[in-house]
C-alpha cells in the first residue's frame, strides 16, 4: 500500500487526514510502485487523470478507480461508470472504473426508478444543497467559515458539470418510447426532448447533499403514465430492494441519517394529482466519493460489497 503526494512526501498521512490519527503509520511518498499493488485510486483534480496516464505506465493487471470526471462519459476508453445500483455486473467484470460525481450520485438515485419506468416525460426541476466539503480541501472564498456560516448561495445555475453523467444515465435507462433527456451543456433541447434544470446550493454545514426533484406526470391519475402514490412507493422499493446502501424511507428522511455513512436514502411523495417530489440524500464524501469508490473496489475484487463500509450515522 502507498499514498502518493508530491507536496506531502515524507509526512504522515494522519497529518493531512487528521481523523486517521492512531489508525495508521502510513507516510506519504513521491514513489509510485504500481507493480506492488492490486488497485490504484486516482484522487486528482478533474482533467488530470487522463494526462497522468499519458505520462505513466500502470501494469495491465492493476485495476484503476478514478474519482475525477475524466472518464465518466462514454467515449474512446474502457472505463465503466461505477454506479452500483444499475451497473453491478459491469463493475464486477471491469478493470478500469470511473467513480460517479457526488451531486450526480444523489440526483440519479432519486430519478432512476422513474426513468426505468418511462415516467420522465417533462422537464425535471432539481434543487440540491451541499456542504462546504463539496468544494474540496483547498480553502476558498466561499468555504471560509465566516462566509459560509448562517449563509446560502447558488452557483453554476443549469451548468453544473455533473449534468453530463446524469443525462447519460437517464437516457440509458429510459424506454425507447420515452423522451430523450437533453444534456443542455452540449446542445439546446430538440423538439420532444426534456431537460434536467439543476440549481446547486452552497449550504452552511460541512457534509452531505440534500436533494429535491420535482417531476410532472402526464395522463389520468392511476394510469400507467401517472401512477398512484402507493404504486410509486412500490416502484422505488422494488428498484432498490437488492441495493447494498440505497434504501427507501417511508417517512421523509433528514440529512443526519446519512452523514458519516455510505448510505443513500430516497423518499417519494405525490401532490395535486400529477406532481411528484423525490427527496434523496447522501454524504458527499462517502457515497458521493471515497465510500462509493471502496464499494466499487469490493465489487471489482469479489469482496463483500459492504466490507469496510458498515458505518453509523451521527444523527445525535
Determine contact, residues 163/150, Cβ cutoff 8 Å: no
Q: Is 102 in the active site?
A: yes
CA atoms of 288 and 281, how far apart (whole Å): 10
Catalytic residue among 102, 106, 167, 182: 102
Distance in angstroms (rounded) separating the CA atoms of residues 275 and 245? 27
Catalytically annotated residues: 102
Amino acid at each position: 500500500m502507498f499514498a502518493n503526494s508530491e507536496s506531502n512526501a515524507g509526512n504522515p498521512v494522519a497529518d493531512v487526514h487528521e481523523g486517521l490519527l492512531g489508525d495508521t503509520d502510513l507516510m506519504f511518498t513521491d514513489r509510485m510502485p504500481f507493480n506492488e499493488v492490486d488497485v490504484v485510486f486516482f484522487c486528482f483534480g478533474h482533467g488530470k487523470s487522463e494526462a497522468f496516464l499519458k505520462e505513466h505506465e500502470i501494469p495491465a493487471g492493476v485495476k484503476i478507480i478514478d474519482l475525477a470526471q475524466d472518464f465518466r462519459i462514454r467515449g474512446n476508453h474502457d472505463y465503466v461508470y461505477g454506479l452500483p445500483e444499475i451497473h453491478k455486473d459491469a463493475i464486477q467484470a471491469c478493470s478500469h472504473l470511473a467513480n460517479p460525481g457526488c451531486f450526480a450520485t444523489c440526483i440519479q438515485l432519486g430519478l432512476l426508478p422513474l426513468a426505468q419506468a418511462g415516467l420522465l416525460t417533462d422537464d425535471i426541476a432539481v434543487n440540491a444543497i451541499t456542504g462546504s466539503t463539496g468544494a474540496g480541501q483547498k480553502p476558498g472564498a466561499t468555504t471560509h467559515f465566516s462566509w459560509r456560516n448562517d449563509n446560502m448561495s447558488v452557483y453554476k445555475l443549469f451548468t453544473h458539470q455533473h449534468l453530463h453523467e446524469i443525462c447519460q444515465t437517464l437516457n440509458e435507462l429510459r424506454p425507447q418510447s420515452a423522451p430523450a433527456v437533453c444534456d443542455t451543456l452540449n446542445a439546446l433541447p430538440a423538439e420532444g426532448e426534456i431537460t434536467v434544470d439543476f440549481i446547486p446550493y452552497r449550504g452552511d454545514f460541512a457534509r452531505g447533499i440534500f436533494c429535491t426533484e420535482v417531476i410532472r406526470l402526464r395522463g389520468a391519475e392511476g394510469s400507467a403514465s401517472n401512477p398512484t402514490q402507493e404504486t410509486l412507493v412500490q416502484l422505488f422499493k422494488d428498484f432498490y430492494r437488492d441495493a447494498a446502501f440505497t434504501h427507501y424511507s417511508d417517512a421523509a428522511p433528514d440529512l443526519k441519517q446519512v452523514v458519516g455513512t455510505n448510505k443513500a436514502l430516497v423518499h417519494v411523495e405525490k401532490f395535486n394529482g400529477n406532481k411528484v417530489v423525490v427527496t434523496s440524500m447522501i454524504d458527499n464524501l462517502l457515497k458521493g466519493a471515497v465510500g462509493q469508490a471502496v464499494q466499487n473496489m469490493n465489487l471489482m475484487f469479489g469482496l463483500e460489497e459492504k466490507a469496510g463500509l458498515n458505518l453509523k450515522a451521527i444523527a445525535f
